[in-house]
Amino acid sequence: MQTKLTQEEEQIVDYIENGNAKSIENVKEEITRFTQMAKEQTSKKKAISIRLSESDLYLLKKKALAAGISYQNIIQSLIHQYTHDKIKASL
């Protein structure tokens, strides 16, 4: 099965395959540095307070229990998907 690449991904592949990409001297240190930056970014969390209707919270907890995950993780996932344009909200 052929993977469909985005336009940006295709540009990256072309850049590399055309020999334009050059390695840097301290690759291992840079990999370590960027790995640490990514870990720090994904581990930063901010507590918020939100008011939900009791019925919505009940249904959310019921679905979370059935899925075997916490309702907070469902909320976090929905917000992440929405902010990264993976899902749309009908407001």
Residues recorded for the chain: 91
pTM beyond 0.85: the answer is: no
Give the residue extent of every domain in the chain: 51-91
Q: How far is CA 22 from CA 15, 25, 73, in A?
A: 10, 10, 40
29, with CB counted inside 10 A (0-12, 13-18, 19+), is: exposed
Report pLDDT digits (tens) over 16-69.
999 888 888 888 898 898 888 888 777 778 889 999 999 999 999 999 999 999
Provide the token pair at 33: 């540095």
Question: Which ranges constitute the DSSP H helices of the chain?
Answer: 7-17, 27-43, 54-67, 71-83
